[in-house]
Amino acid sequence: MRISIRPPQNFNFKRTVLSHGWCALMPFEFDQQTWTLDRVLETNSSVPVTVRIRNKKRAIEIEPDRTVGARVTAAIERDVRHMLRLDDDLASFYDAMSAEPEFSWIPQQGAGRLLRSPTVFEDLVKMMCTTNCSWALTETMTKNLVKNLGRAARDGRKAFPTPAAMAGVSEKFYRDEVRSGYRAPYLKELADRVASGSLEVETWLASELPTTELKKQMKEVKGIGDYAAENLLRLVGRYDGLALDSWTRGKFAAVRNRGRAASDKKIGRYYSRFSSWRGLAFWCDLTRDWLEESCGAE
C-alpha cells in the first residue's frame, strides 16, 4: 500500500528532513544513504503504524507497514503534512529572503520548513531533553522514553509515548530508566498536567495569543526557559525569537563574526531587519552548510 501527497511548489524534502536534529530522535529514524524517513505513528488505531516516507518526483510517497483503512490513511496523511510543514505559507518569508543576496539561496532551495513531531506534546518533551546536555544525551533520553513507554507497531518499533503513558510512571522512573537526571520532576509534572487536561499544549498550534504571551505560557512549564520556548515557537509557526544557545552562538561567531564571540544583542541586531521572520532567517543562515549547495528544490 502506498499513499501519495502532492507537496507545495519548491518543497525541499532533504532540507526539511535535515532542517534540525529532530530526524535523529526516536521514533524518527532517518537513513541519509537512501533519504528515507521512517516514523511510528499512533494514528489512534489499535496498533501504531510504521510509515516510510520518501520523496518522489512531484510527490511525497508514504508506505505504511500494513494495509490500513480510510480513517487511518487520513490520520497518516494529516500527521505527515503536519511533520513536513506542507501547509505552512512561507511566501512572505521567501519574498523577504529574495531581497537579500546572501539569503536568496533560501527560497531558491526551498529551505525553511522545520521538521516537527505529530504533537506539540512530543516536541515539548524532546525540547526539555535538549537543555543543558550533549546531543548524545538528548538521543539517549528520547530513546529510553520511546523504548520503555511507547506502544509497539507490528514491526516491533515503538511510537512516542502518550501523555497518559508518561503520567503513569514515577519520577524515579525518569531518573533511573530514562536517565533524565534533574529533568525528572519536570517531565513527570508535564505528563501529569497534559494527561489530566489541565494543560492543553496542542492548542498552542492555533493560539491567537500574541507571541510574547504564548511564550510566557510556554515558560510556565517547568524546565522550559527562553531557549526551549523560542524553539517551540518555531515549531508552532512563530519565528520572532532566535532561541540562542551555545551551538548557535558559536556558529554565528564562525559564520558571521570572523570567529569571534558576539554578544546576544549583536546577534539580535544582525537579523532584526527580518522582523517576524528573523528566527527562521537566523536558523537557515546557520545551517546552510548542512547540505550541499546543489541540493535545490525538489
Partner DNA sequence: GCGTCCAGGTCTACC
Partner DNA sequence: GGTAGACCTGGACGC
* Binding of residue 139 to DNA (CB under 7 A): no
- Name which of 159 and 243 has its Cβ closer to DNA: 243
Min separation Cβ 221 and DNA, Å? 7
Return the residue matching grid coordinates 541586531.
269
Min separation Cβ 21 and DNA, Å? 3
Closest CA to 291 of 119, 53, 42, 108: 108
* Binding of residue 245 to DNA (CB under 7 A): yes
d(CA 261, CA 110): 30
d(CA 197, CA 180): 24
> Are the C-beta atoms of 140 and 134 separated by less than 8 Å?
no
d(CA 244, CA 242): 5
d(CA 263, CA 214): 26
Candidates 98, 104, 132, 170; binder of DNA (CB under 7 A) is 132
Min separation Cβ 290 and DNA, Å? 10
Closest CA to 241 of 89, 127, 126, 91: 127
Q: 205 to 244, contacts with DNA by CB under 7 A?
A: 219, 221-229, 231
- Partners of residue 255 on adjacent β-strands: none
Min separation Cβ 203 and DNA, Å? 20
* Binding of residue 296 to DNA (CB under 7 A): no
- Name which of 80 and 178 has its Cβ closer to DNA: 178
Min separation Cβ 178 and DNA, Å? 9
Min separation Cβ 248 and DNA, Å? 7
* Binding of residue 181 to DNA (CB under 7 A): yes
Q: 143 to 172, contacts with DNA by CB under 7 A?
A: none
Selected range binding DNA among 32-40, 95-103, 136-144, 199-207, rule: CB under 7 A? 136-144
d(CA 186, CA 227): 16
> Are the C-beta atoms of 175 and 187 separated by less than 8 Å?
no
Return the residue matching grid coordinates 511566501.
91
- Name which of 208 and 220 has its Cβ closer to DNA: 220
* Binding of residue 262 to DNA (CB under 7 A): no
> Are the C-beta atoms of 38 and 50 separated by less than 8 Å?
yes
Classify residue 101 by burial, with Cβ atoms within 10 Å: 0-12, 13-18, 19+: exposed
- Partners of residue 211 on adjacent β-strands: none
Min separation Cβ 161 and DNA, Å? 19
- Name which of 158 and 183 has its Cβ closer to DNA: 183
* Binding of residue 182 to DNA (CB under 7 A): yes
d(CA 179, CA 39): 23
d(CA 282, CA 167): 36
- Name which of 82 and 219 has its Cβ closer to DNA: 219
Candidates 10, 36, 108, 131; binder of DNA (CB under 7 A) is 131
* Binding of residue 135 to DNA (CB under 7 A): yes
The binding site for DNA (CB under 7 A) comprises: 20-21, 130-137, 140, 175, 179-183, 219, 221-229, 231, 245-247
